[in-house]
Amino acid sequence: MAQMTMIQAITDAMRTELKNDENVLVFGEDVGQNGGVFRATEGLQKEFGEDRVFDTPLAESGIGGMAIGLALTGFRPVPEVQFFGFVYEVMDAISGQMARLRYRSGGSFHAPITVRSPFGGGVKTPELHADSLEGLMAQQPGLKVVIPSNPYDAKGLLISAIRDNDPVIFLEHMKLYRSFRQEVPEEEYTIEIGKAEVKREGSDITIVTYGAMVQASLKAAEELEKDGISAEVIDLRTVSPLDIDTIIASVEKTNRAIVVQEAQKQAGIAANVVAEINDRAILSLEAPVLRVTAPDTVFAFSAAEDVWLPDHTDIIEKATQVVKF
Amino acid sequence: MGTKTIENIEGQFEMFQILNENGEIVNKEAMPELSDEQLQELMHRMVYTRILDQRSISLNRQGRLGFYAPTAGQEASQLGSQYALDKEDWILPGYRDVPQIIWHGLPLYKAFLFSRGHYVGNQADGLNVLSPQIIIGAQITQTAGVALGLKKKGKKNVAITYTGDGGASQGDFYEGMNFAGAYAAPAIFVVQNNRFAISVPVEKQSAAKTIAQKAVAAGIQGVQVDGMDVLAVYKAVTDARERAINGEGPTLIETMTYRYGPHTMAGDDPTRYRSEDLDSEWEKKDPIVRFRKYLESKDLWNEEKENEVVDKAKAEIKAAIKQADETPKQKVTDLISHMYEELPYNLREQYEQYSAKESK
């Protein structure tokens, strides 16, 4: 087994599927010769040739539309949107088109497309690079939205996403790309889309989270332990569809929950998780389910990013509030 | 001396015509190789489609059809281009381009079901056609992708897409042409310039004098064709197809045409933006009238033949409406079933709810 960063695990997943299936195509802006702006596709063009791994003109809508056309002719496209803030340029191709292809055609066609894209705060990008827009994607029926929190999951989830016969939005948190290494098997393996993981067991409160907030939540749980609060941490891994069984089983055990996301508070994944818990487990609750989120502004200009982004102290505060309710 | 700019681009885009409005061949050397039977088939299809349009409008008014975008006037553009295709070629139509997919193999009753908003009308039955695109221009970038896919698979086929003069203002129009050009993908982009995007005249869409010249910026072939001349349209698409499958890249074809009717049957009133003079000017160019004259002069067409087509069309339309009426009613559970290959928990629950609700 090798020690890999998340970005290495992502490259490894694409390499695995490029080898496994000749219909897998990897393309986007700078993904060929340059290996991607984060080096996610490093070496892939050299290994698999320009026919399979290639650069595109600089036009996100074109990339999305082309992915659909390639899917129609039997390919399994893995396009990259260079930064997820650029998704607005390709919203119709994603939400108006690929998400609806199976539905619109009454099952005649489908779109086995994995749209990979970096996102997430903490790396001081210019505007429209780091935004957490998973809530926007999760509102679109027909899509699946996957957000790995570590190298091991990233590889297994990306392989599953590429093999999925429906479009998957695969969001890669930039802060996690190289922040730590983990044992990642060199052989292929999959992690089922739609399955959360209990990262830490606890009995007093459930912390439902995903992406970079998993690390912050685990750190918070350790601190809470010192105060005698036993927190269970659930990494959603897939934010649409939710793993409702894992969430509800945990809440029925702990009777309390908070939901933590890096995105703004309004609408979004956390609001949906709260609503689902209220729908399904209200009688198990001993306190309201609260949220830890960023404020409802546009994503912070980088000089204010550190304060704007939620961190473990916000999680500790909110968890304590719920436990003491 | 000032900066040098390019002048008279549009001068290089003279309208390509073979058959003039009097039904005379004016460009003999460009005449496509079509047998007498093929010429008659083209006429058959245009007459049939004109009847289909008239009946569809009438059925819409009776409330027996839903969304409908009239096609009369555009038969040469639509059917001349489709006739140049191979059965395995892909069509990515706009919302007015239902005739092309019917002649590519979509059963007529399905076209009616599409109009009624029933998903069965969108099922492709193994045909290489998408259902008519509603977002203007979205199909154009997809066409670049289908074309690239065909090329990668080593197929000798093309992807053709249709939009209108308004569609040529969309970003996706440029992106689609540019992508297909960059990959030398076998795509054909047909812009049916019927002069009005709902109500906005083509002169207000762009400072460009022709739409065909927009090919120049993408580095691809561009041609402006008399869109009321079925022979010219057929020839232009045949040539474009030939170049495409020979690896010479995509072509933009602007067909100069006119829709006689409203934009759609949902309340558009063309008298608010078009003059009667303009209408009658274009009706004089009618694609069926001129082709009839030409075929009659060659003794390939007569009233009897035409009446046979009209009767056949009417009978088939009647049968297709009956078949559409007999199609099982669409259910919410049908829609749920087609969201994903495997339903997630929320849709599984909702399937049960609607299954119970709809079985009452």
pLDDT in tens, B91-148: 999 999 999 999 999 999 999 999 999 999 999 989 999 999 999 999 999 999 999 9
Dist CA B106 CA B95 (whole Å): 15
Instruction: Given the residues B45, B50, B195, B259, select the one marked as catalytic.
Output: B259
| Euclidean distance between CA atoms B124 and B93, whole angstroms | 13
pLDDT in tens, B190-205: 999 999 999 999 999 9
Closest residue in A to B181 (Cα) is A57
B-chain residues near A69 (CB < 8 A): 141-149, 159
Flag if A57 and B175 touch (Cβ within 8 Å): yes
* A325: closest CA of chain B, how far (Å): 31
Positions of CATH 3.40.50.970 in chain B: 2-327
Mean pLDDT within B138-161? 98
pLDDT by residue (tens digit) across A221-271? Answer: 999 999 999 999 999 999 999 999 999 999 999 999 999 999 999 999 999
A244 contacts on B by Cβ (under 8 Å): 345-346
- What is the homologous superfamily of the domain B2-327 according to CATH? Thiamin diphosphate (ThDP)-binding fold, Pyr/PP domains (3.40.50.970)
Can you give the pLDDT at residue B8? 80
Whether A62 sits inside 8 A of B338 (CB atoms) is no
Q: How confident is the model at residue B15, as a pLDDT?
A: 97
Whether residue B147 and residue A69 make contact (CB cut-off 8 A), yes or no, is yes
Average pLDDT over every residue of B175-197:
98
What is the helix (H) or strand (E) element at residue A239, kind and residue range? strand A238-240
Q: Where in chain A is the domain with CATH 3.40.50.970?
A: 2-184
- CATH architecture observed for domain A197-324: 3-Layer(aba) Sandwich (3.40)
pLDDT band at B12 (very low <50, low <70, confident <90, very high): confident
- Please tell me the predicted confidence (pLDDT) of residue B125: 85
Of B122, B178, B344, the CB nearest to A241: B344
Distance from CA of B358 to the nearest CA of A (A): 19
Buried b (16+ CB within 10 A) or exposed e, B25-64: eebeeeebebeeeebbebbbbbbbbbbbbbbbbebbeeee
Q: Please state the rounded mean pLDDT for residues B267-277.
A: 96
Which residues have CB under 8 Å from B147's CB, separation 6+?
A69, B90, B158, B159, B180, B183, B185, B186, B187, B244, B250
Q: Which residues are CB-contacts of B129 (< 8 A; sequence separation ≥ 6)? A: B90, B91, B92, B93, B101, B104, B105, B106
| Angstrom distance (rounded) from CA A149 to CA A180 | 11
- pLDDT tens per residue, range A47-63: 999 999 999 999 999 99
What average pLDDT does the segment A279-286 reach? 98
Residue B67 has pLDDT above 80, yes or no: yes
CATH class of A2-184: alpha beta
Report whether B55 contacts B265 (CB < 8 A).
no
Section B323-349 average pLDDT: 97
With a CB cutoff of 8 Å and minimum separation 6, the contacts of A226 are none
**Residue tagged active-site, from B183, B273, B351, B354:** B273
pLDDT greater than 80 at residue B1: no
- pLDDT band at residue B6, thresholds of 50, 70 and 90? confident
* Percent of all residues in chain A with a pLDDT value above 70, rounded to a whole number: 100
pLDDT above 70 (res B57): yes
Active site residue B44: no
Whether residue A234 contacts residue A241, with contact meaning beta carbons closer than 8 Å, is answered with no
What is the structure's pLDDT at B298? 97
Which of B135, B149, B345 is opposite residue A75, by nearest beta carbon?
A: B149
pTM: 0.97
| Location of each CATH 3.40.50.920 domain in chain A | 197-324
